[in-house]
Structure 1
Amino acid sequence: MEAKVEKRKSLFQRFLDGVERVGNALPHPVTIFFILCLIVMVVSHICYKMGVAVDCTKIDKETKEVTNSVVSVVSLLTPEGIRYIFENAVKNFTSFAPLGTVLVAMLGVGVAEGTGLISTLIRKLVLSTPKSLITAVVVFAGIMSNIASDAGYIVLIPLGALIFASFKRHPMAGIAAAFAGVSGGFSANLVIGTIDPLLAGLSTEAARMVDPTYSVNPMSNLYFMFISTFLITILGTLITEKIVEPRLGEYKGSMDELKLDKISKEEKKGMKFAGLSLLVLLIGTILLVAPKGAILRHTETGSIIEHSPFMNGIVFVIMMYFLIPAVAYGIGAGTIKNDKQVVSAMSKAMAGMGGYLVLAFVAAQFIAYFNYTQLGTIIAVKGAAGLKAMKFTGIPLIVAFIIVTGFINLFMGSASAKWAIMAPIFVPLFMRLGLSPELTQVAYRIGDSTTNIISPLMSYFALIVTVSQTYDEDSGIGTIISTMLPYSMIFLVGWTMLLMVWFALGLPLGPSAPLHFPI
């Protein structure tokens, strides 16, 4: 009997394994974030003593006013800094953006799980979707989820694991595919989302530093982002199936698999009830949003997308879109007999979030400390100044700008906060070199999106770690970074190449959005 020869791993696979080993050899993620808090304290004090400061031109996200100021590092080890640590520990936790978002949405998701609605929907998906398309479906759904703000992080990433497990594939690959679509493909979409008007407003104010009449349309990147959706879907699918899943190997964890029996008569009745309730919800939403002067439009501008009650309350909307159909399904399928069962399902969902709450508390402190010390702003301005000093032009400048943006994104997660600092530097610079603000904005969005998935400063990173530990209790930050690194690298290269081809062909980036600015 011949001995089984183990296939030799490629250099890249060995590199990823090394990243994972080093990352997971570190302490528990909670301890890691605690250590990072200590590092920020020490570094902030050293920089404070050295007098590290930068001249910063920034655009206010609300008023759109351009301000100039000197930004200095703030120490956490001065008396004032120590008082900040003690006085803001609770506030940092309760104001941690993903915390309320996750918990509120999970109330609805928990009922959907408890009644069996999610199980039935996934079985329906598995029985009706060709196996060869399921990866693409998950990645594409992740990209499109950006329309509903952060919904993809809360809903789609956990579902990605369940969907892959239903196909008897590694659930971690499902998490990776969904995470790649939701976060790595953050700026790609078939329609404009909440980030488009925000970035366009900041780009407009930066452009007016050169041309006071210039205006950047919120749809100015639509054509490019539309095509990017298909590029990221294809790349995400190939990376998952050719790199990530083979590296993960066969899943050996203990998990209850979904039974792939046909949908029963009771379940079909429940689906009908859920479908009717969903139709009522849709009609109600349309009535609250669509008509001119509707209740959930912005009271002054009439906008549905930008700063509207609808988008500000999207998490509550998501919860209702899970909760009401789930209850209707439970009544139809007979899995809900009374209100106590609904509350029990919600309680069970909250009980399962214990580990996330602990991790979120420490992660919230770390991110708050990093913002308080101004280290993120210093890195952003220094990085931008370094690139500007290189005096690149044309395509080399665009490529270098994308890479620098991706690097800065590792330290400053908010897309709008970074752009508020970088736009006043690079939009005028690019305009004086004959490149349009719309092109600068697209290049920024590529760099900003592609490194989200490997940055611990990304606000939902703690949630991804928690979801991953559901299927692999030994997984940690090293596991996530090593799994997502291929997506980050290949998305960065592939997306940049698409922009280079677009630039060479001279195609408009969106309606009335040229590539060039007349000098």
Structure 2
Amino acid sequence: MNAQQKEASAPKKLLFRILDGIEWLGNKLPSPLLLFAILAALVVVISGIFSGVSVTNPTSGEVVEVKNLFSLSGLEYIFNSAVENFIGFPPLGAVLVTMLGIGLAEQTGLINASLKGIVFSFPRRLLTAALVFAGVMSSVAVNAGYVVLPPLGAVLFLGLGRHPLAGLAAAFAGVSGGFGANLALTSTDAILLELTADAASTIDPAYADTITVTMNYFFAAVSVALITIVGTFVTDKIVEPRLGTYKGDEAGDIDELTALEKKGMRRAGIGFLLTFALMAYLSFGPLRGDGAYIESPFFNALVFVIFILFLIPGLIYGIVVKEISNDKDLTKLLGKTMATMSGYIALAFTAGQFIAYFRETNLGTVIAFRGADFLDSTGFDGLGLILTFLGLTMVVNFFIGSSSAKWTILAPVFVPIMMNLGYSPEFTTLLYRIADSVTNMITPLLLYFPVVIAFAQRYDKKLGIGTLISMMIPYSVAFLLAWLLLLLVWVLVGIPVGPGAPISY
């Protein structure tokens, strides 16, 4: 046990022991690659056991039945879909494209030089808060934050002599746990609006027409500060002290910038500004589209935009510092970047099969609707109903990672139930966003969970699912408790959750 842990108070020591137990138990599981393969096989077997079990969507009347993959037709699906399940694994393309740009910037030394500048100019006491805040705000770029911020957070912390996994955890907590908070409107707001309005129209079509995309804005904006403060506290007082001193192989010493590095930074900075200006022009000009900005062609191509924003400065920097002198050098550096992602690519194959099988069998949908039936049968009202709804949504999040996919299933059931009990659709949507956010970081079924594991294994090659979950549980619990306290104040005072969005219906 390190010195920091010895000095910990009794409650903190107990917490560390509990987290150590969770880590030990989780790491007894097979490697993530093998675990997803085993889970895929279990889904096939379970689908055979529960084949024919069905639920009925109370809104549409559609019957959803568990599809049997433990059959001849299921075997045909498994063989015929294997390649498509791998290629179609949602994070795969986004991760590889983004990492090409980030990787070039890293291979040429641009990221290292940038970190030197940050280390020697940025107030160290604000780094954790800045990292969590950036993670929360990254939902403006949909899921890009999962790919960009955790590895950068790790490198930043390492450069400051801190544990890189603490930096990774802080960024991951901000991106995933803070997904329900933002100072700006995001594509998630637009998607949830449509689903909430459709569900509310089954009870009150006139009220449904009054629901706007800003329905949760007040609460979400205040939550940014809340999650930033709580995430900073958990990182500095719980996660990093528990991790102790980093003793891995990655170098963390940072020297002063050389004259050549400064010259490269200036040229790369000019390149970035020009590239950013071009992207801004495209976003409001040729690629603006005719609809809402968050649905524009430009917004839908943010992964490629991030790739360009890293690639161009990285290329310029590499040329200036003579890391790149011809096309062969560029090809070699990009190849090195992809080589670092080989483990993730292998992991994506088994993870892609599991997620595809789970979706194909309809098991997640059946679990969600059966959970809704349970909530309806409890007869709860008031606080009991709110807590039960939150708990049920958190459980469902362990089976269905996509926020929009879950709300597509849950909204037609829960929004009418809550309206009949006096709660507005906007408030119900807010409850859903809280429950969805706080469990994102601890469910292996989050599409980007394997991505974060791959990033973390750079600093601890033996790191397993248990280690990552034990690091993230303090954030999950702290975010939930903080949000519940804020929610209690909000309800007692009766503040609208958004413009024209009351708590009561």
TM-score normalised by structure 1 residue count: 0.93
AA at the equivalent of 1:339: D
Q: Deviations over 1:434-478 (max 9, x none)?
A: 211111111000000110111111001111111111111111011
Q: Kindly indicate whether residue 18 of structure 2 is the aligned counterpart of residue 12 of structure 1.
A: no
Q: State the one-letter code of the partner of 2:57.
A: C
Match for 1:253 among 248, 256, 263?
248
The 5-angstrom pairing of residues 100-499 of structure 1 reads: 100-213=93-206, 214-215=208-209, 216-261=211-256, 263-290=257-284, 294-299=285-290, 301=291, 303-306=292-295, 308-499=296-487
* Partner in structure 2 of residue 26 of structure 1: 29
Match in the other structure for 1:77: 70
Distance 2:345 2:322 in 1: 33
Instruction: Give the C-alpha shift of residue 334 in structure 1.
Output: 4.1
Q: 2: distance between equivalents of 1:382 and 1:11?
A: 37
Could you tell me how far apart the structure 1 residues matched to 2:320 and 2:231 are? 38
Q: What SS does the aligned partner of 1:257 have?
A: coil
Aligned to 2:205, the other structure's residue is in SS state: coil
Any residues of structure 2 matched to 1:41-56 within 5 Å, and which?
Answer: 41-48=44-51, 51-56=52-57
Whichever residue aligns with residue 144 of structure 2, its letter is A
Which whole-Å CA distance do the structure 2 matches of 1:193 and 1:258 have between them? 38
Checking the alignment, whether the CA contact within 8 Å between 1:268 and 1:333 is kept in structure 2 is no
- Amino acid in structure 2 at the alignment position of 1:252: K
Q: Is the 8 A contact 1:127 1:260 kept in 2?
A: no
1:266–1:334 Cα contact (<8 Å) kept: no
Of 478-487 and 325-334, the range deviating more from structure 2:
325-334
Distance 2:252 2:390 in 1: 42
CA RMSD of aligned residues (A): 1.7
Letter in 1 for 2:260: E
Question: Could you tell me whether the CA contact under 8 Å between 1:399 and 1:496 is conserved in 2?
Answer: no
Q: Any conservation in 2 of the 1:30–1:359 contact (CA below 8 Å)?
A: yes
How many residues align? The count is 497
Question: Distance in 2 between the 1:200 and 1:121 partners?
Answer: 40
- Secondary structure, counterpart of 1:67 in structure 2: coil
Contact 2:57 2:369 in 1 (8 A): yes
Distance in 1 (CA, whole Å) between partners of 2:336 and 2:229 is 37
> Structure 1 residue 6: deviation in Å?
5.0
Contact 2:160 2:252 survives alignment (8 Å): no
Q: Secondary structure at the match of 1:513?
A: coil
The question of whether the paired residues in 1 share the 8 Å contact of 2:44 and 2:69 is answered with yes
SS at match of 2:458: helix
Say if 2:182 and 2:224, in contact at 8 Å, map to a contact too: yes
The TM-score normalised by the length of structure 2 is 0.95
Q: Is the 8 A contact 1:93 1:360 kept in 2?
A: yes
User: Structure 1 stretches of 5 or more lacking a match?
Assistant: 58-65
CA–CA separation in structure 1 for the residues paired with 2:238 and 2:360 = 39
Deviation at 1:272, TM superposition (A): 2.1
2:95 touches 2:147 (CA, 8 Å); kept in 1? Answer: yes
Structure 2 portions without partners, runs of 5+: none
1:95 alignment counterpart: 88
The alpha-carbon deviation at position 258 of structure 1 amounts to 4.1
Flag the 1:258–1:342 CA change in 2: closer, same or farther, 3 A. Answer: farther
Q: 1:40 aligns with which of 38, 43, 50?
A: 43
Give the AA of the match of 1:44.
Answer: S
Shift of residue 23 of structure 1? 1.2
Decide whether the 8 Å contact of 2:32 with 2:464 is kept in 1: yes
Q: Over residues 260-288 of structure 1, what are the superposed CA-to-partner deviations in whole Å (9 max), with x where a residue is unaligned?
A: 31x33322222222222222222222222
CA distance in 2, matches of 1:473, 1:279: 37
Give the 3 Å change call, closer, same or farther, for CA 297–68 of structure 1 in structure 2: farther
1:188 Cα deviation after fit: 0.9
Match of 2:490 in 1: 502
Q: AA paired with 1:264? A: T
Shifted more, 223-232 versus 494-503: the winner is 494-503
Structure 1 residue 168, shift from structure 2 partner: 0.8
**Partners of 1:45 and 1:497 in 2: CA distance:** 44
CA distance in 1, matches of 2:470, 2:280: 43
Question: Could you tell me how far apart the structure 2 residues matched to 1:482 and 1:92 are?
Answer: 29
1:5-47 Cα offsets, whole Å, 9 max, x none, are: 9567633221111111111122222111111112111111111
Q: What fraction of aligned residue pairs are identical, expressed as a percent?
A: 49
